[in-house]
Amino acid sequence: MAGDTSGAPDGPASGAPDGPPPPARTAAAAEDSGRPPESRKRRRLLSATLPGCWGALLFACLSFTPSLLPRGGILQGLICGINAALGYAAGILAAWVWRAFADREPRHPRHRSWTAFFISGVILFGLFFGFGQYWQYQIRRLMGVTGYNVPLAVVSPLIAALVFFLLLLTARGVRGLYRRLVRLLKRWIGPRAASAVGWTVVAALIWAIVTGLLLDGLVGLANNTFALRDTTTEEGAHRPTTTLRSGGPGSLVPWDSLGLQGRNFTGTGPSAAAIGAFTGRPATEPIRSYAGLASSDDTEARAAQAVADLTRQGGFERENLLVMTTTGSGWVDPAAVDTFEYLSGGDSATVAMQYSYLPSWLSYLVDQTKAREAGRALFDAVYDTWSKLPSDHRPRLFVAGESLGSFGGETAFSGEYDLRNRTAGTLFAGPPAFNTLFREFSDHRDAGSPEVRPVYKDGRTVRFTNDPGAEIPPADRPWNGSRVLYLMHSSDPIVWWSPHLVYSEPDWIGQHPGDDVLEQMVWLPFVTFWQVTADLPFAADVPRGHGHTYTTEYVDGWNAVMRPPDITAQDLGRLKDIIAAEK
């Protein structure tokens, strides 16, 4: 780049009092003085500092290091551009700190310094781009991903450049606003006070715009959009003709109030005939109870309505009762519930309810409170009825949830003993890193056990596995009484994402990262955080057994938790084929 290439910080902190320029910049200032005002503004807007460019280059190169999931050219370009902008800011800050310790003013870089930068940039970026393509190939091979768009990969540097310049111009627009405000304030107050007040006002304005207008506005728009979609019914979901499903004949919850995901839940699922064909014995029609957002505006009332319909259906008279906490929009993973019904021979009842219109990934960011309230309210409503039954007439009570559903499911319990004493078993899949109990169990794992496969209290109640079809550690220790099992893939960004990735290396990277994660993955400040963040929206867009895609894992998972009698390895294999065919 050409233009004003001083090493001065490219931000408000570099603003200096009005007056003559530093000696090192006199030549550049003199050159600018002969230009029209608009030309000088345009030149400053398009200028770049050498330290900032070095930082942008290094961070851009590091963006090609492997993350958890394979990524296409557009996503790689986006990540590279964001990283380059962060690197530019880091380079400016480093130069500013260095000059503060050296006690000198910025110096205009020599022509050969820029020449060295451009030559090094081409070589370094080319090398890392090539290594990046190789690492992406290895990740795709680990996960069995075959699709790859070569043209998009080729143009990813151009996408990165566009993103970088947009972010850079935005930052300079903020800096310009700050400087204008400071100049205005200096008419009434001193320079230092003007600078402090200017920073405060600009920061508050940006915060208000981002949170009040952008975030709230986008969330509101998304909520209205998905609320409209919630009135539709997907192909294949039909209004039940049995009294054993919410929305069917005699139901206390109208079919139209169930919402899109509620109608999918009660309008699909294995029949008694299908379950009997699997078990080779007469089977019972499973019970499914559900309450949608349109059923009631109050969380507790909605939970009470779902439990009332469950009682009407005879759910508390079944052998197995499952409380399923949904994700965002009320989605219930069919693989989890279908497997539960097959392994119980249909002698089961499942109850769930909706708490948001938003999809899981958006609820994950903005609807955590609703998930917490819904999980606690639903389990408490079920447990209140269940606990009043004679002890020899109670069904076995199970709890399950995937992703944000596991977060909501956990909130009804205080810890390991509470889970063991109030349930017959628990199965959580893809738990987010902010789950309270998951974090407690993982952080206090037994010494020597890795974070990707932690062992808690010798596995007496709570266990973790990447592959429930293999031995669940610790295989040599007893696992009696109620069992709590967490399913978590090593490559699932939902499980590992945390704001702490910005500044702290997690154990799951420092230790062996897992069988479907490249060993070349390393932690880098800021860089790793943005890479894993970019993985989140695409966490389920990978083959089963990887990322946030849990399907046939439920077969072995529920088999370990429920311990159904007379189930052979061959039976489990057949059930996996059935569940896989449904996806």
pLDDT in tens, 449-482: 999 999 999 999 999 999 999 999 999 999 999 9
> Which positions of the chain have pLDDT values less than 50?
1-33
At position 72, the amino acid (one-letter code) is G
The verdict on 259 and 165 lying in the same domain is no
Alpha helices in 412-515 (DSSP H): 416-422, 436-443, 493-496, 507-510
What is the 8-class DSSP label of residue 245? B
The verdict on 178 and 261 lying in the same domain is no
State the Cα–Cα distance between residues 400 and 439, nearest whole angstrom. Answer: 17
CA distances from 250 to 295, 300, 323, 348 (A): 15, 22, 22, 20
pLDDT at 2: 38
Long-range CB contacts (within 8 A, 24+) of 176-179:
177/202, 177/205, 178/12, 178/15, 178/202, 179/12, 179/15
What 3-state class would DSSP assign to 175? Answer: helix
User: Is the bond into 474 cis (omega within 30 degrees of 0)?
Assistant: yes
Residue 219 domain flag: no
The verdict on 262 and 166 lying in the same domain is no
pLDDT at 22: 43
Chain CA centroid to CA 548, Å: 9
Please work out, in degrees rounded to the nearest 5, the angle formed at the alpha carbon of residue 372 by the alpha carbons of 367 and 373.
100
pLDDT at 23: 42
* Nearest Cα residue to 350 out of 390, 391, 319, 384: 319
In degrees rounded to 5, what are phi and psi of residue 351?
-125, 140
The verdict on 333 and 458 lying in the same domain is yes
In degrees rounded to 5, what are phi and psi of residue 289?
-115, 140
Contact 359/367 with Cβ under 8 angstroms?
Answer: no
In degrees rounded to 5, what are phi and psi of residue 338?
-60, -45
Contact 407/370 with Cβ under 8 angstroms?
Answer: no
State the Cα–Cα distance between residues 339 and 230, nearest whole angstrom. Answer: 26
Residue 307 domain flag: yes
Which of 185, 203, 228 corresponds to the end of one domain? 185
CB atoms within 10 A of CB 405: 28
What 3-state class would DSSP assign to 71? Answer: coil
Please work out, in degrees rounded to the nearest 5, the angle formed at the alpha carbon of residue 188 by the alpha carbons of 182 and 191.
45
The verdict on 104 and 240 lying in the same domain is no
In degrees rounded to 5, what are phi and psi of residue 398?
-120, 155
The verdict on 176 and 281 lying in the same domain is no
CB atoms within 10 A of CB 224: 11
What is the 8-class DSSP label of residue 214? I
For 547, what's the count of Cα atoms within 13 Å in the CB-facing half-sphere?
24
SS3 content of the chain, % helix, strand, coil (to 5): 55, 5, 35
* Nearest Cα residue to 355 out of 312, 399, 430, 407: 407
Which of 126, 160, 185 corresponds to the end of one domain? 185
The verdict on 160 and 256 lying in the same domain is no
For the chain, what is the domain count? 2
What 3-state class would DSSP assign to 392? Answer: helix
State the Cα–Cα distance between residues 513 and 509, nearest whole angstrom. Answer: 5
pTM of the model as a whole:
0.85
Contact 105/23 with Cβ under 8 angstroms?
Answer: yes
pLDDT at 167: 92
The verdict on 280 and 376 lying in the same domain is yes
In degrees rounded to 5, what are phi and psi of residue 326?
-85, 170
Residue 231 domain flag: no
pLDDT in tens, 213-260: 555 666 666 666 666 677 788 888 999 999 999 999 999 999 999 999
The verdict on 310 and 413 lying in the same domain is yes
pLDDT at 179: 87
pLDDT at 8: 41
State the Cα–Cα distance between residues 349 and 321, nearest whole angstrom. Answer: 5
Which of 122, 152, 185 corresponds to the end of one domain? 185
For 279, what's the count of Cα atoms within 13 Å in the CB-facing half-sphere?
23
CA distances from 459 to 98, 196, 225, 564 (A): 52, 55, 45, 20
Residue 209 domain flag: no
What are 476's two structure tokens?
């040599």
pLDDT at 205: 80
Residue 205 domain flag: no
pLDDT at 214: 59
The verdict on 298 and 402 lying in the same domain is yes
State the Cα–Cα distance between residues 526 and 505, nearest whole angstrom. Answer: 11
Residue 506 domain flag: no
Place of tokens 């043209």: 151
Q: For residue 162, what are the domain limits?
A: 12-185
425-429, strands of its sheet edge to edge: 287-291, 348-353, 320-325, 396-402, 425-429, 483-487, 462-465
The verdict on 407 and 478 lying in the same domain is yes
Residue 522 domain flag: no
Contacts of 233 (CB under 8 A, 6+ apart): 260, 263, 267
Place of tokens 């154990």: 507
The verdict on 255 and 150 lying in the same domain is no
State the Cα–Cα distance between residues 162 and 169, nearest whole angstrom. Answer: 11
429 forms beta bridges with 402, 487
In degrees rounded to 5, what are phi and psi of residue 137?
-60, -40
Residue 299 domain flag: yes
